[in-house]
Amino acid sequence: MTSQRFSALWRSLAPIGNSPHGYHRSSWTYPDLACREWFAEEAADRGLAVETDGNGNLWAWLGDPTAGDAVVTGSHLDSVPGGGGYDGPLGIVSAFLALDLLLERGVEVRRPVGVVAFTEEEGSRFGMACLGSRLLTGALDPERAAALRDRDGVTLVEAMKSGGVEPSLLGPDPVRLKRIGAFVELHIEQGRALAVPVGVASAIWPHGRWRLDFAGTGNHAGTTRMDERHDPMLTFAYTVLAANKEARLRGGHATVGRVGVEPNATNAIPTTVTAWLDARAAEQSTLDGLVDAIGTRATERAARDGTSVTLTPESVSPVTEFHDGLRDRIATLLGGVPVLPTGAGHDAGALAAHVPTAMLFVRNPTGVSHAPEEYATDEDCAAGVEALAAVLEELACR
């Protein structure tokens, strides 16, 4: 695979949803639908059969998936708001190109091979990370999912309908899942942890999202005495600083990247602040301790401020240890490439609880992700395609 060949297909997808402030490919919005159309066209160009499952995940098949023991590869097309172009789409572009290589080599493909694009991996619109893969695998209750609302109050069901998918089929799909014999997700590496073009994942850190609801008493900014305020913004601000400190002390990660304020007026003490905590750690015990400590410190501060705070889990994932046999086989096949864990969540994590699953990482020299500076060279991406083709050949053709 030449880097020019990678670049040509990459350029056909890259403009969709891009802006000077990064990518905005929120699920079921126009850019996501345009990406889905791109997927269907690429699949059709290769003679692959395309289907959308009841959870809105897209599948393209070489061979008959009902035969079972399929080898599936892919990732997601949605982005965080203002994100990079590679997180997700690199795995799908690479999947189509790896399939091209496989077919050009004329090897006999003995197992069905699928390319998948999972719905809303980022959880940016409906707040639930790995929405499509969690629904597929039964890790998310379909009734809970159906009731999820975006920031404008639109439900997931309404959004899917607007995208032409029948939401009455939301939920676990054990028949489809059983047909998959192995899943391999190629993804851009996201933490400047890879010094060579390609690596293999060992594990995903336990991680999750919690909503923090701070409530106080709205009042006039000019006339309310400083010692008579019940200002939830103060409790919120203290909690953000405490989260950062607790994470550094414990060797975990804690981030507050999204916040909402009511009524959001310059000259009024707010009545409520809603914030979302993203917390992660290499060990479950560290993560549990970190989240408990943040909750405790927020509650203590709320008592001092005369406000209240509640901490509600929204999506929480335990550690994923990828299938060790598959991981070692792939690392050896690729000539002893590095094997590394990641603090980023992936659909592969949801699949791994049911199917032998592996991940390939492609070097990201900026180390930046979820931001426009996210980057991989065309040469490294082409190396990723070659590696994925080798893995598909190993799994589907021997």
Q: Which stretches of the chain bind ligand GLV, using CB under 6 A?
A: 122, 129, 344-345
Distance (Å, whole) CA 373 – CA 368: 6
129 touches which of ligand GLV, Mn ion, none (CB within 5 to 8 A by kind)? Answer: ligand GLV
91 touches which of ligand GLV, Mn ion, none (CB within 5 to 8 A by kind)? Answer: none
Using alpha carbons only, what angle is made at residue 182 by residues 180 and 188, rounded to the nearest 5 degrees? 120
Min CB(188)–ligand GLV separation in Å: 10
Which residue's CB atom is positioned nearest to ligand GLV?
Answer: 345
Q: Reduced to 3 states, what is the DSSP secondary structure of residue 313? A: strand
Min CB(346)–ligand GLV separation in Å: 7
Residues β-bridged to residue 70: 180
88 touches which of Mn ion, ligand GLV, none (CB within 5 to 8 A by kind)? Answer: Mn ion
Comparison of 314 and 394: residue with beta carbon closer to ligand GLV: 314
Interface segment toward Mn ion; rule CB under 5 A; list 23-31, 87-95, 165-173, 279-287:
87-95
The binder of Mn ion chosen from 32, 53, 78, 87 (CB under 5 A): 87
Min CB(235)–ligand GLV separation in Å: 26
Q: Reduced to 3 states, what is the DSSP secondary structure of residue 389? A: helix
345 touches which of ligand GLV, Mn ion, none (CB within 5 to 8 A by kind)? Answer: ligand GLV
Comparison of 89 and 216: residue with beta carbon closer to ligand GLV: 89
Please confirm whether the linkage preceding 263 is cis (ω < 30° from 0). Answer: yes
Min CB(364)–ligand GLV separation in Å: 13
Site string for Mn ion, 35-74 (x = CB under 5 A): ----------------------------------------
Phi, psi of 373, rounded to the nearest 5 degrees: -75, -5
Candidates 85, 95, 88, 29; CA nearest to 345 is: 88
Comparison of 167 and 345: residue with beta carbon closer to ligand GLV: 345
Distance (Å, whole) CA 87 – CA 30: 19
Comparison of 137 and 235: residue with beta carbon closer to ligand GLV: 137
Min CB(345)–ligand GLV separation in Å: 4
Count the Cβ atoms, other than its own, within 10 Å of residue 284. 12
| 70-76 and 180-188 beta bridge pairing | parallel
Q: Which residues, other chains included, contact 83 with Cβ-Cβ below 8 Å and sequence gap of 6+? A: 22, 23, 24, 25, 122, 369, 370, 371, 372, 374
Min CB(79)–ligand GLV separation in Å: 9
Interface segment toward Mn ion; rule CB under 5 A; list 10-18, 88-96, 292-300, 308-316:
88-96
Comparison of 129 and 396: residue with beta carbon closer to ligand GLV: 129
Residues β-bridged to residue 195: none
Candidates 321, 254, 57, 294; CA nearest to 173 is: 57
The binder of Mn ion chosen from 17, 54, 56, 88 (CB under 5 A): 88
The residue count for the chain: 398
Q: Where do contacts with Mn ion occur on this chain (CB under 5 A)? A: 87-88
